[in-house]
Amino acid sequence: MYPPSRKDFISLTLSDPHSHTYNNGKHRRQSCWRKWKQLSRLQRSLILFLLALLLIFGLISFPSISEQWRVSSGVVDRLEAVRQAFRHAWKGYKDHAWGHDELKPISKSFGEWFGLGLTLIDSLDTMWILGLKEEFAEARAWVEKDLSFDKNVDVNLFETTIRVLGGLISTYHLSADQLFLEKAKDLGSRLMPAFKTPSKIPFSDVNIGKGTAHPPRWTSDSTLAEVTSVQLEFRELSRLTQEPQYQEVVNEVMKLVHKLPGKHDGLVPMFINTNSGQFTHKGVFTLGARADSYYEYLLKQWIQGGKTEDDLLEDYLGAVEGVKKHLVRKTGPSKLTFVGELSHNRFNPKMDHLVCFLPGTLALGAHNGLPGDHMDLAVELMETCHQMYKQMETGLSPEIAHFSLQPSDGRDVIVKPADKHNLLRPETVESLFYMYRFTKDAKYRDWGWEILQSFNKYTKVPDGGYTSINNVRDPVNPGPRDKMESFFLGETLKYLYLLFSDDTELLSLDKYVFNTEAHPLPIWPSPPK
């Protein structure tokens, strides 16, 4: 076949239907141009002027439109990043620790504490909030088929109440699924023997199969935080079941502690004896381990009950004044406000990461009408908790920080060798969530985002799960510890998601109060007046 001649090519083009489109377009352009030429000079000038105005307006508004798009897409990206982190953590748990208490992500195995599927139950309401329906359905099936409390095992009253009982009750409220309430009732009744003590101060340990309870092997004391941080859950169980005994036993503990001698301007010692009902180890006061959630639950019980229980409010306000009077100091170098400890009138500039719950709690109190200077202190302490992350080479906080009181020292935060580990704890992101909800200051979101990125960089295990680390000061070798605590999914990731969400009605702080394991429980309706 020969190639077509020029004449053939022209005839082909003319017969092509698409060539009519070309000719029509050409005709339209000529027609438009003729109409434009028929307009007067004034009319043409006016049209050009209006087009120029539109162009200028577009250029001026472009940055704000693009900024709005960037911010909104950033929020979506951050929420999705939390979902991805949760899915990654869950994948490790599902692959290597399904139905067990904790994942060991490095060795791809599991750790058992009570044998109650702690990570799974702690994660239920987080999955619901994050909209992870498939994962939630799998976990629900395990709860229905495999979760049994009829076993000969000693459990810690406090840990089981805040993680398992709290997790089941909150999931019932969110999902309205009766299965979770039935499981909560079963567990609640099995924990009751802990309260059968001479003083009505509960034992720390209870055998949920045998119905017996006892103190730890080494002492007859219980930790004050533990016996005063089961109230939100037991009170709510009474409200749901219409069985008053759960609320009665925990209210009795609060009444006893309210009247006890041995407090120091509202501050309480760390231990209480189950035989005598008296404080022990007097003279040592901290807002860290063994005392922290006592203060948190004073405020939260008052809010839960509709702000009617005056003893709780009195104890909380007194405690905040005691903190300000005895424990609050500023660092020498940068004047960071921190909360130290008191040991027999000797001040120790030591602050557990656990104390970073306090900015959020103070802010929650101020939101509920308590003095404005509580919020001022919350803002200052939030900055310090942020610096506990920012001043570390990995961007992650140590378990315990010591603070320099000398202006000549280079750093505010000093980390001792035994305190360099990070357990994926939630307290700082918890407080960031409260601070953002109440102030809408975007810096709190940015700080939370930095923390999530550091978790991803230094604690994420490639094929599933996250691990606690040994050394926040060594980014080259942070030293994975091979343990993912259940609270990383139950609290840390949940609070990050809520921090980044624009939906203020998602667990509104005027409708829900969070227990100390981040399980939301409803604020009770006010009684009729």
Domain boundaries 57-522, corresponding CATH code: 1.50.10.10
> Distance between CA 331 and CA 354 in Å, rounded?
19
> Distance between CA 209 and CA 349 in Å, rounded?
44
Q: DSSP 3-state assignment of 266?
A: coil
- The verdict on whether 292 is a catalytic residue reads yes
Tokens representing 216 are 């730890």
pLDDT score for 371: 98
> Distance between CA 301 and CA 263 in Å, rounded?
20
Tokens representing 79 are 């929420």
Tokens representing 43 are 């009319």
> Distance between CA 127 and CA 125 in Å, rounded?
5
> Distance between CA 470 and CA 100 in Å, rounded?
24
Neighbours of 151 (CB within 10 A): 14
Which parts of the chain register pLDDT below 70?
1-33, 36, 58-76, 528-529
Show the 3-state SS of 441-490.
Answer: CHHHHHHHHHHHHHHHHHCECCCCCECCECCCCCCCCCCECCCECHHHHH
| Structure-token match 């008053």, residue found | 244
Chain centroid, CA 9 distance in Å: 73
Q: Out of 233, 341, 399, 517, which one is annotated catalytic?
A: 399
Identify whether the C-beta of residue 473 lies closer than 8 Å to the C-beta of residue 392.
yes
Q: Out of 122, 125, 236, 292, which one is annotated catalytic?
A: 292
- The verdict on whether 430 is a catalytic residue reads no
> Distance between CA 87 and CA 202 in Å, rounded?
38
Identify whether the C-beta of residue 228 lies closer than 8 Å to the C-beta of residue 257.
yes
Where in 36-142 does DSSP place strands (E)? Answer: 102-104, 109-111
459 has binding-site annotation: no
- The verdict on whether 427 is a catalytic residue reads yes
Bridge partners (DSSP) of residue 311 are: none
Q: Which residue from 293, 313, 295, 359 is spatially nearest to 517, judged by alpha carbons?
A: 293
pLDDT in tens, 386-412: 999 999 999 999 999 999 999 887 889
Q: Which residue from 104, 122, 102, 124 is spatially nearest to 113, judged by alpha carbons?
A: 102
> Distance between CA 416 and CA 402 in Å, rounded?
8
Sequence-separated contacts (24+) of 158-161 with Cβ below 8 Å = 158/204, 158/223, 158/225, 158/226, 158/227, 158/229, 158/230, 159/113, 159/114, 160/114, 160/116, 160/187, 160/191, 160/208, 161/191, 161/229, 161/230, 161/233, 161/234
Q: Out of 125, 159, 236, 485, which one is annotated catalytic?
A: 159
Identify whether the C-beta of residue 357 lies closer than 8 Å to the C-beta of residue 378.
no
Identify whether the C-beta of residue 142 lies closer than 8 Å to the C-beta of residue 120.
yes
Chain centroid, CA 401 distance in Å: 21
Identify whether the C-beta of residue 431 lies closer than 8 Å to the C-beta of residue 385.
yes
The domain limits of the chain are 57-522
- The verdict on whether 341 is a catalytic residue reads no
The secondary structure of residue 212, as a DSSP letter, is E
Q: Out of 122, 427, 485, 517, which one is annotated catalytic?
A: 427
How far, CA to CA in Å, does 346 sit from each of 95, 285, 342, 355, 472? 50, 10, 6, 19, 29
The predicted model scores a pTM of: 0.86
